Structure 1
């Protein structure tokens, strides 16, 4: 099978992939809005994928909360895919990588990995020095497929990557049997036929890692666009880890209008009193990727809920 650099551009299918480890916050609403607006403007499909592959991190009730919040804010999706229901798919692609020789077992502990590299990038120790025996199940890593990679980001412009120094040989299956994040995301994009991934710039390097998986599987890579993440005045990214507050469910229109402004749209103040449906219609008529700031991060506007 011949690998393609990018998917067919005659069809558009986007997605939003929240992790159910807490409620949606303002930063995640920006990611959802950017991907949804991009799909709307291009008359494409927009899917939800619940990234619940890591059971210890899943918060009970979080998935329902996410879906309810998206509904309150006027999002409409084609369907919902759950990573927790796709283990057979991941196993089949794992077997394919094993047959092709792209993956290898690794017995290095996290402490050992960080002792060799301050950022925890793995340079192939167990690939170069294969373990002779296993006292316990090993992790499995993907060896580098391309040392140099590049793509034209739909928002940030041309991006390059020295993959050994920026991505490393990452885990695709942990020693405890849980699938690696980059592996399942790449498999999902390919299996779902995702053509466009619009998400935060904090995941730009992750796109290069996921492209490595797709290269190994000889599957096309989506078109990527990375919008700036939103930070506090202290420069801290809005996130669940930073305890960003859950989105308000009453009066969503002013919050949605605030999101639009972070994406470069000059929303009339009076639209904050309209329904979310009216806001989406206005957003569809005015959205343009070129309006989104070409920055990795921007401070939150005063209108953002804290």
Structure 2
């Protein structure tokens, strides 16, 4: 009998479980692999630079590999040429990746296999609810598992929902500390395949991280409440979850996070040293002012040598000033 998709997931580098609040040391974690996973919906801005630098510093400080994965499974949001722009930006800022660039779209057959396995295990159901209907029935925006007993067909314009588990999906974040959420998040069935037939973020990111042996994830705190859903996927696939590092978000004067949707300006290679200095300082490190005039590689080398995880702010957002 062939192995199920769950069993055929390549075994990632497994880390020992530690007590909450325990620290990581290079001796205990000699073979970590991290990643930076932008979507090609536009060039990198300062907010995404912070995420890239944060993930790079954590990986390099602990002697880890740093992978770049392009999350190109949402064609309606993709911008032509964005992937090449992003890669050029990373190189200009001294952020050099290990191994080949990974393209998420190349793993779509794998995602489909996992979906079929989850369906065969009775862990999925089809849902035809609109967002308007969900909002009418829910006072907190959470999906109230309306279609779980309807036995709708998986064909046609329906979302595929993963049934929630019974566990406690709280977790310890290496920056933010103990993270717990309202019970409604833990008991919400969530989408793993969208109504338009595209793969959902939650499923794709977990499968890619498992297959690549990613055992620590550094990203913005806007994805913090995605973590319990991803922990549910690690649970059903019976794979160890990575360590989590959620960075504070950069916001503008209007209180909005810097993002492509909010038209945050692209970072430019001609300002690489100054912007890199700002990103490192944003992460709670204290680079000397004199470094602003040094090449990006010199700034990065200093940041790796002097990196202190405990000085990254335990905040959800920080005002970004270009000065």
Specify the TM-score bucket, using the shorter chain as the normaliser.
over 0.9
TM-score by length of 1: 0.92
1:50 partnered with 2:70: yes
Q: Deviations over 1:217-266 (max 9, x none)?
A: 11111100101001112211110111000001113111100111001111
Aligned to 1:222: 242
Aligned to 2:144: 123
Aligned to 1:144: 164
Residues 273 and 292 in structure 2, CA contact (< 8 A), matched pair in contact too: yes
Q: Deviations over 1:120-144 (max 9, x none)?
A: 321211113333x678342100110
1:8 partnered with 2:29: no
SS in 2 for 1:250: helix
Residues 145 and 212 in structure 1, CA contact (< 8 A), matched pair in contact too: yes
Report the RMSD for the aligned CA atoms in angstroms: 2.0
| Alpha-carbon distance, 1:302 to partner | 3.9
Aligned to 2:283: 263
Question: CA 1:185/1:146 → structure 2, altered by over 3 Å: closer, same or farther?
Answer: farther
| Alpha-carbon distance, 1:272 to partner | 0.7
Select the residue among 312, 316, 320 that pairs with 1:292: 312
Residues 148 and 161 in structure 1, CA contact (< 8 A), matched pair in contact too: no
Q: Deviations over 1:125-180 (max 9, x none)?
A: 1113333x678342100110235212110000011134533672111111221011
Q: Which deviates more from structure 2 when the two are superposed, residues 244-253 or residues 7-16?
A: 7-16
Q: Distance in 2 between matches of 1:86 and 1:135?
A: 22
Q: Distance in 2 between matches of 1:21 and 1:119?
A: 29
Q: Distance in 2 between matches of 1:135 and 1:43?
A: 47
Residues 154 and 160 in structure 2, CA contact (< 8 A), matched pair in contact too: no
Q: Distance in 2 between matches of 1:33 and 1:135?
A: 42
Gapped regions of structure 1 (runs ≥ 5):
none
SS in 1 for 2:269: coil
Gapped regions of structure 2 (runs ≥ 5):
1-5, 17-28
Q: Distance in 1 between matches of 2:266 and 2:71?
A: 19
SS in 2 for 1:128: coil
Aligned to 1:97: 118
1:64 partnered with 2:71: no
TM-score by length of 2: 0.88
Once the two structures are superposed, the pairs formed by residues 140-179 of structure 1 within 5 Å of their partners are 140-165=160-185, 168-179=188-199
Q: How many pairs are equivalent?
A: 300
Q: Distance in 1 between matches of 2:128 and 2:322?
A: 49
Aligned to 1:113: 134
